[in-house]
């Protein structure tokens, strides 16, 4: 598809009415096309106008209370314990002014410490989140690079896999070159339990499925596997992913989760 | 928008203000999608808690707060609709038609200028273009599902949907400021 084809799909995307395959294709294009991203924003504004044709309705007052209660819980901060009031009147003696100044100073110090402590804690949380994101992004980048190199190598082929049964929303792609060097990237596969892994299969009609590598998705639900294909005609081969005992098996025994799109 | 910035800075009063400003339109949208008060209220709560957590993600260069809030609400509403069982939806389908007919007549008092603008614009669209838009927007149907529902070829549905939304955009063009909420 070319840019203009994608552009035509944008109004339907703004209504989230594209079918899954088109949606995925357009989403990939949007990642690299800022013009289409901007256009999508404009169409979303038009689509949002449809909302006002719904009859206005008043939610019960409890909803507001529930929201604000949740928000207050979120805002809860460490409490500063108040000082007990002095037993004598501190205004009556000059010396007590010093005591009052000390009280103010100590209170300010405590408040300052609490603020600093909170800022430090927030910074630590942010740092941990960002480090995690950076690591994930680096992994994704590396995977994308490998995949890109394979797809752009001479004589390379790319096949789409579609989710089945329990993994209807899962998707996958297998790229392979003319030497049979293949790479799989799959999204949306369910997590595997201990002792289980997914396994890639190469399928030629009229022959039993040929086993490929076994693998498990990472924390973000993305799975990759690099494999060398058996000696099969590259245009006629299909792929499937099944759930098997960890380490893989010579012939499939478990349910199929992905297969070459029809 | 200053209000969303204040919410991003964790100002509770600004969230309350935002809620008071948008609750009627967003709850109306959720009622239209879900046709179930308890579900719609639950989703409305989810939406505003998400706004509380994610207001910092709002980018004023990429659209108006109204679009952001409505898109978020509609998306949450459609997600909830899909998780409700088909049985419940069939049972409520009849009730939905009736409710709309009654409240249409009763809601004249609430009819805002913005609402009038959009309904007038929609009235200028032929039914064959309007229906795919409404089925997609309020029922969360995809183009293939709409084609099946209307018994029309998929290609025809795609064309009508695109033409319908383009026409709506033209009809609303230049009215953006009064429509800006």
Domain that holds residue B106: 1-110
- Which of A152, A180, A202 is at the close of a domain? A152
Q: Say whether both A164 and A119 belong to one domain.
A: no
- Three-class SS of chain B: CHHHHHHHCCCHHHHHHHHHHHHHHHHHHHHHHHCCHHHHHHHHHHHHHHHHHHHHHCCHHHCCHHHHHHHHHHHHHHHHHHHCCHHHHHHHHHHHHHHHHHHHHHHHHHCCHHHHHHHHHHHCCCHHHHHHHHHHHHHCCCHHHHHHHHCCCHHHHHHHHHHHHHHHHHHHCCCCCCCCC
**B19/A64 CB distance under 8 A:** yes
Domain annotation covers residue A85: no
**A66/B62 CB distance under 8 A:** no
Q: Say whether both A124 and A30 belong to one domain.
A: no
Task: Give this prediction's pTM.
Answer: 0.55
Structural domain count of chain A: 3
What pLDDT shows up at residue A80? 47
Find chain A residues with C-beta within 8 A of B165's C-beta: 11, 14-15, 43, 46-47
Q: Say whether both A132 and A162 belong to one domain.
A: no
B153 has a pLDDT exceeding 90? yes
Domain annotation covers residue A17: yes
A230 has a pLDDT exceeding 80? yes
Calculate the dihedral angle through the C-alpha atoms of A145, A150, A154, A157, rounding to the nearest 10 degrees. Answer: -130
Domain annotation covers residue A118: yes
pLDDT band at B108 (very low <50, low <70, confident <90, very high): very low
User: Going by C-beta distance under 8 Å and a sequence separation of 6 or more, which residues neighbour residue A234?
Assistant: A157, A176, A178, A180
In this structure, the number of other CB atoms found within 10 A of the CB of residue B150 comes to: 16
**B169/A50 CB distance under 8 A:** no
| Minimum-distance CB partner of B41 among A42, A55, A63 | A63
Q: Say whether both A96 and A141 belong to one domain.
A: yes
A190 has a pLDDT exceeding 80? yes
B42 has a pLDDT exceeding 50? yes
Domain that holds residue A168: 157-260
Domain annotation covers residue A63: no
Q: Say whether both A186 and A121 belong to one domain.
A: no
Instruction: Return phi, psi of residue A50, to 5°.
Output: -60, -25
Average pLDDT rounded to a whole number, residues A112-135: 84
Say if residues B137 and B86 touch (Cβ distance below 8 Å).
Answer: no
Instruction: Return phi, psi of residue B45, to 5°.
Output: -65, -45
pLDDT tens profile A36-93: 999 999 999 999 999 988 888 999 999 999 999 999 988 886 544 444 444 445 455 5
What pLDDT shows up at residue A17? 95
Say if residues A205 and A237 touch (Cβ distance below 8 Å).
Answer: no
Q: Say whether both B54 and B121 belong to one domain.
A: no
Kindly identify which residue of chain A lies nearest to residue B130, measuring between CA atoms.
A50
Residue of B21, B64, B115 to mutate for A, most A C-beta atoms under 10 A: B115
Instruction: Please give the Cα distance from A225 to A235 (Å, whole number).
Output: 20
Domain annotation covers residue A80: no
Instruction: Please give the Cα distance from B18 to B150 (Å, whole number).
Output: 39
Q: Say whether both A180 and A104 belong to one domain.
A: no
Instruction: Please give the Cα distance from A221 to A140 (Å, whole number).
Output: 12
Say if residues B157 and B147 touch (Cβ distance below 8 Å).
Answer: yes
Domain annotation covers residue A86: no
Q: Say whether both B119 and B92 belong to one domain.
A: no
Average pLDDT rounded to a whole number, residues A89-106: 70
Domain annotation covers residue A245: yes
Q: Say whether both A232 and A163 belong to one domain.
A: yes
ipTM of the complex: 0.84
What's chain A's average pLDDT? 85
Residue of B9, B56, B74 to mutate for A, most A C-beta atoms under 10 A: B74
Q: Say whether both B105 and B117 belong to one domain.
A: no
Average pLDDT rounded to a whole number, residues A126-153: 81
Q: Say whether both A133 and A164 belong to one domain.
A: no
Q: Say whether both A170 and A218 belong to one domain.
A: yes
Q: Say whether both A201 and A134 belong to one domain.
A: no
**B15/A68 CB distance under 8 A:** yes
B48 has a pLDDT exceeding 70? yes
What's chain B's average pLDDT? 82
Largest CA distance in chain B: 51
pLDDT band at A18 (very low <50, low <70, confident <90, very high): very high
Q: Say whether both A110 and A44 belong to one domain.
A: no
| Minimum-distance CB partner of B44 among A50, A53, A59 | A59
- Which of B110, B125, B146 is at the close of a domain? B110
**B103/A55 CB distance under 8 A:** yes
Residue percentage of chain A with pLDDT more than 70 = 92
Find chain A residues with C-beta within 8 A of B179's C-beta: 49
Give me the half-sphere count of Cα atoms (radius 13 Å) on the Cβ side of residue A179: 8
- Three-class SS of chain A: CCHHHHHHHHHHHHCCCCCHHHHHHHHHHHHHCHHHHHHHHHHHHHHHHHHHHCCCCCCCHHHHHHHHHHHHHHHCCCCCCCCCCCCCCHHHCHHHHHHHHHHHHHHHHHHHHHHHHHHHHHHHHHHHHHHHHHHHHHHHHHHHHHHHHHHCCCCCEEEEEEECHHHCCCEEEEEECCCCEEEEEEECCCCCCCCEEEEEEEECCCCCCEEEEEECCCCCCEEEEEEECCCCCCCCCEEEEEEEECCCCCCCCCCEEEEECC
Average pLDDT rounded to a whole number, residues A149-159: 84
Q: Say whether both B23 and B93 belong to one domain.
A: yes
User: Going by C-beta distance under 8 Å and a sequence separation of 6 or more, which residues neighbour residue B75?
Assistant: A16
Q: Say whether both A146 and A174 belong to one domain.
A: no
B130 has a pLDDT exceeding 90? yes
């Amino acid at each position: 598809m070319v840019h203009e084809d994608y552009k035509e799909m944008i109004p339907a995307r703004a209504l989230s009415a594209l079918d899954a395959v088109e949606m995925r294709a357009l989403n990939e294009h949007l990642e690299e096309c800022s013009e289409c991203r901007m256009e999508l924003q404009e169409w979303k504004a038009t689509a949002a106008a449809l909302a006002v044709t719904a009859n206005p309705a008043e939610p019960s007052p409890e909803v507001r209370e529930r929201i604000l209660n949740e928000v207050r819980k979120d805002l809860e901060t460490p409490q500063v314990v108040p000082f007990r009031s002095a037993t004598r009147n501190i205004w009556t003696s000059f010396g007590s002014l010093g005591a009052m100044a000390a009280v103010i100073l100590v209170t300010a110090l405590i408040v300052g410490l609490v603020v600093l402590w909170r800022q430090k804690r927030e910074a630590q949380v942010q740092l941990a989140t960002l480090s995690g994101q950076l690591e994930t992004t680096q992994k994704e980048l590396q995977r994308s690079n490998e995949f890109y190199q394979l797809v752009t190598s001479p004589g390379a082929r790319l096949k789409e896999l579609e989710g089945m049964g329990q993994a209807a929303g899962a998707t996958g792609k297998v790229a392979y070159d003319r030497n049979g060097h293949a790479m799989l990237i799959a999204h949306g596969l369910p997590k595997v339990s201990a002792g289980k892994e997914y396994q890639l299969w190469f399928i030629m009609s009229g022959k039993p499925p040929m086993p490929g590598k076994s693998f498990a998705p990472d924390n973000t639900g993305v799975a990759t596997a690099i494999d060398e294909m058996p000696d099969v005609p590259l245009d006629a081969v299909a792929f499937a992913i099944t759930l098997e005992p960890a380490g893989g098996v010579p012939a499939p025994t478990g349910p199929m989760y992905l297969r070459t799109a029809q | 928008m200053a209000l969303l910035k204040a919410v991003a800075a964790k100002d509770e009063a600004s969230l309350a203000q935002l809620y008071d400003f948008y609750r009627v339109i967003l709850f109306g949208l959720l009622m239209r999608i879900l046709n179930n008060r308890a579900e719609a209220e639950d989703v409305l709560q989810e939406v505003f808690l998400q706004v509380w957590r994610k207001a910092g993600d709002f980018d004023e260069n990429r659209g108006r707060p109204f679009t952001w809030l409505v898109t978020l609400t509609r998306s949450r509403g459609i997600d909830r609709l899909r998780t409700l069982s088909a049985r419940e939806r069939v049972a409520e389908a009849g009730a939905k038609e009736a409710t709309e007919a009654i409240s249409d007549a009763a809601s004249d008092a609430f009819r805002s200028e913005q609402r009038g603008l959009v309904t007038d614009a929609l009235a200028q669209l032929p039914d064959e273009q309007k229906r795919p838009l409404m089925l997609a927007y309020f029922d969360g149907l995809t183009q293939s599902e709409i084609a099946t529902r209307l018994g029309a070829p998929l290609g025809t549905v795609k064309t009508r949907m695109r033409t319908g939304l383009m026409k709506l955009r033209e009809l609303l063009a230049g009215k953006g400021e009064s429509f800006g909420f």
